[in-house]
Structure 1
Amino acid sequence: MSYLSDNYVEETRFGFWFLRSHTWQHHVLRVAINDLRSLFSEPLPVHPVLLDAGCGQGKSFQYLRQTFAPQRLIGVDADPHSLDLSGAEATRQGMDVELIGSDCATLAVPDASVDLLFCHQTFHHLVEQDKALAEFYRVLKPGGYLLFAESTEAYIDTWVIRWLFRHPMHVQKSAAGYLEMIRRQGFEFGPHNVSYPYLWWSRAKDFGLLERWGLRQPKPFGQREETLVNVVARKPLEGAV
């Protein structure tokens, strides 16, 4: 397979299958988009231009339409086969989606042209994370929003996930590490714009089974290593023309 990024880490067969499963769509994508929606401090942009960075097989499209009602939806991915599947998914949903084959570190999108940039479970796949984040900042309009939902190193670096999936392990970060990177790029957000979901599937050691069976008490926030971090971060209005 020829990918559109020199740094692309090929997914396993299981991983590729999982990204079109009901579990992925209902328990991961849908939940993350609903959570991100709840983290906005201000009203949503009306009929925004929305870019899905790392759109994969397009399973996010229907949820993004339902939640944000974009006037224009752009999907970006570095895997040509995934883009083909995204196109088929858009057709099934009766949606007009512009698909771009591109590495997130070199987005073929004009400056200040996007209102919302959705990056869900993509960033931990990217080797050139600083470049990608700079590109996200560049393509967003002043006042535009980054919708960032990510698994942390505490989840990715477990035997279950390393066995089932493929990731560039040297770039994985903690929740605090991702938030610091986003803030350092120049994005603005407060504690009310951040959440740390503690979902059953993100508990890689036992998927929450011991807690469900009453054999262990869940660790409260502040006493556990977070496995997920979601943030809605805004590009400042300063510099707007």
Structure 2
Amino acid sequence: MSEQFFSDSYVEETRLGFLFLRSHTWQHHVLRVATNDLRSLFTEQPPHHPVILDAGCGQGKSFQYLHKVFNPAQILGVDADPLSLKLSAEEAQRRRLNVELIGSDCAALTLADASVDMVFCHQTFHHLVEQEKALAEFYRVLKPGGYLLFAESTEAYIDTWVIRWFFRHPMHVQKSAAQYLDMLRTEGFQFVAQNVSYPYLWWSRARDFGVLERLKLVKPKPFGEREETLVNVVARKPPQASLEGDTP
């Protein structure tokens, strides 16, 4: 694992967690599903051939799905871990994709104001300590009318024994689905109910990955009666947002 990071607040993943992010389960059942779900949440056509910032790109396994679903002109991959960036470069080369990689903290991006069409933040935000600063940076680098594709696990999932046993997260910044949505609105992002989903996938079931439900030993709680473990949002920076300062 790497020892020098591009962020003083970076919380290094466990060795098992790092290996899991290379697995078929992660790619097929998590990344692919989330990217397709985010595409379905658009209420208008997404930008044509967008420049996409993959915030917390990890080992680059998202690149193939972003390319397939959004056909970007370019992908910018940002991560605080040099080893992840090395593996991302190999992934981009293997798939012959146009990807520029940047070593950076998401809370202090080196990109220019209003320089990207979309920010893809998938299962990254709960790893970030300076979440408010990171969200402000996403808002800043997006063009007016650009989109934040936000897909997150909530505190109800992260703060379970199985996740805490095998993975490493900054626990003091974990939030509920409602709290994440409030953060987006406070920053100035706009979205309606049709732009939000609460996937209840087998791997996100708190405590047992849905095993007891599959064995019909317990009944799944319906929407509205359970504490959500996942939230996906397509949130838009207002088209009229000022290019000078870009504060909401």
TM-score by length of 1: 0.99
Per the TM alignment, residue 237 of structure 1 is displaced from its structure 2 partner at its CA by: 1.2
The 8 Å contact of residues 189 and 234 in structure 1, kept in 2 or not, is answered as yes
Aligned residue number for residue 103 of structure 2:
101
1:38 and 2:3 matched: no
Aligned residue number for residue 195 of structure 2:
193
Give the match's secondary structure for 1:104.
coil
Q: Deviations over 1:95-114 (max 9, x none)?
A: 12000000000001100011
The 8 Å contact of residues 145 and 234 in structure 1, kept in 2 or not, is answered as yes
The one-letter code of the counterpart of 2:137 is: E
Q: How many residues align?
A: 241
Aligned residue number for residue 233 of structure 1:
235
Aligned residue number for residue 136 of structure 1:
138
Per the TM alignment, residue 240 of structure 1 is displaced from its structure 2 partner at its CA by: 5.2
Extract structure 1 runs of 4+ deviating beyond 4 A. none
Per the TM alignment, residue 239 of structure 1 is displaced from its structure 2 partner at its CA by: 3.4
Per the TM alignment, residue 214 of structure 1 is displaced from its structure 2 partner at its CA by: 1.0
Percent of aligned pairs sharing the same letter: 76
Give the match's secondary structure for 2:216.
coil
Which of 50, 58, 61 is residue 60 of structure 2 equivalent to? Answer: 58
Aligned residue number for residue 126 of structure 1:
128
Aligned residue number for residue 29 of structure 2:
27
The 8 Å contact of residues 161 and 204 in structure 1, kept in 2 or not, is answered as no
Aligned residue number for residue 6 of structure 1:
8
Aligned residue number for residue 166 of structure 2:
164
Q: Deviations over 1:183-206 (max 9, x none)?
A: 100000000000000000001311
- Between the aligned partners of 2:241 and 2:184, the Cα distance in structure 1 is 19
Unaligned runs of 5+ in 1: none
Give the match's secondary structure for 1:166.
coil
- Between the aligned partners of 1:66 and 1:240, the Cα distance in structure 2 is 32
Aligned residue number for residue 205 of structure 1:
207
Aligned residue number for residue 180 of structure 2:
178
- Between the aligned partners of 2:175 and 2:65, the Cα distance in structure 1 is 27
- Between the aligned partners of 1:52 and 1:158, the Cα distance in structure 2 is 27
- Between the aligned partners of 1:239 and 1:150, the Cα distance in structure 2 is 25
Which of 154, 157, 172 is residue 155 of structure 1 equivalent to? Answer: 157
TM-score by length of 2: 0.96
The one-letter code of the counterpart of 2:82 is: P
Per the TM alignment, residue 72 of structure 1 is displaced from its structure 2 partner at its CA by: 1.1
Unaligned runs of 5+ in 2: 244-248
Query: Aligned Cα RMSD in Å?
Result: 0.7
The 8 Å contact of residues 136 and 146 in structure 1, kept in 2 or not, is answered as yes
The one-letter code of the counterpart of 1:5 is: S
Give the match's secondary structure for 1:233.
strand
- Between the aligned partners of 1:22 and 1:216, the Cα distance in structure 2 is 28
Aligned residue number for residue 80 of structure 1:
82
